[in-house]
Structure 1
Amino acid sequence: MTATDETRQALERQRTIEITTTGRRSGQPRRTETWRYRAGGRYWLTGSPGSRDWYANVLAHPEFTLHLADQDFQARARPVTDPDERALVFGEIVLTLDWAESLESWIAGSPLVEIELLG
């Protein structure tokens, strides 16, 4: 089994995950708990509309560490800014969240990055 297969299996089991990003200004590691989502057969990091430090960090330093099942995996964030792709991904994610605000508010104001597994 490759590290990528192992990572995918761990991502399937865990919705709440921890990531370590590199601080955009400090350059120091920043560990954050967040949720991962699945849409279109891929894995995503996002959150309800608003700014997020982890998002600002991955914009500056796209590589980060996923902490899953007591193991660490390397990943890269692919920020999604294209409005059509955002609508497609959020259309799938927001439908699964009974607490979510409107789809339009997520498209307009939520961070969205695809988790690209390394190794």
Structure 2
Amino acid sequence: MSDDTTTALAQDRIIDITTIGRRSGEPRRIEIWFHRVDGRYYITGTPGRPRDWYANLVANPGFTFHLKESATADLPATARPITDPAEREKVFTDLFTLLAAFLGKPGQEPEAWLATSPLVEVTFP
């Protein structure tokens, strides 16, 4: 990865992702936040309704991670859904700490996040 890409992965928050539709097989692009925790990259969503992006990544884990803030790059990536309760708790605990520092306020309802929020770890080849 270039220095610009490495810097963007360390400091940016907003990206686009292009997934492959689980039913249509067509590319689907959305804007979303990503998070870096302990040198690993994660995408999550707020608790509640099912997310199409998550269902697409479960069905087709390969996707494109589009940097668009401090650098522009289209990175091939793979998503690993995190479903193990202990691993989810660890990631969300660390993520809430990070978000509280970043946003200046504590995370909301950790139990709801643990129970119903989509969570994937992102890896780059």
Task: Specify if TM > 0.5.
Answer: yes
| Distance (Å, rounded) in 2 between the aligned partners of 1:4 and 1:60 | 30
| Distance (Å, rounded) in 1 between the aligned partners of 2:2 and 2:82 | 22
- Would you say 1:70 and 2:77 are equivalent positions? no
Deviation, 1:81, is 0.3
Paired residue for 1:45? 43
Paired residue for 1:94? 96
Contact 2:5 2:73 in 1 (8 A): no
How many residues were matched structurally? 116
| Distance (Å, rounded) in 1 between the aligned partners of 2:58 and 2:89 | 20
Q: Which ranges in structure 1 are unaligned for 5 or more consecutive residues?
A: none
| Distance (Å, rounded) in 1 between the aligned partners of 2:72 and 2:39 | 24
Paired residue for 1:19? 17
TM-score between the two structures when normalised by the length of structure 1: 0.88
| Distance (Å, rounded) in 1 between the aligned partners of 2:5 and 2:120 | 17
Contact 1:23 1:29 in 2 (8 A): yes
| Distance (Å, rounded) in 2 between the aligned partners of 1:35 and 1:74 | 17
Contact 1:7 1:73 in 2 (8 A): no
In the alignment, which of 99, 117, 121 is matched to residue 114 of structure 1? 121
Quick one: structure 1 residues 102 and 59, their matched pair in 2 at CA, closer, same or farther if it must change by over 3 Å?
same
Q: Which ranges in structure 2 are unaligned for 5 or more consecutive residues?
A: none
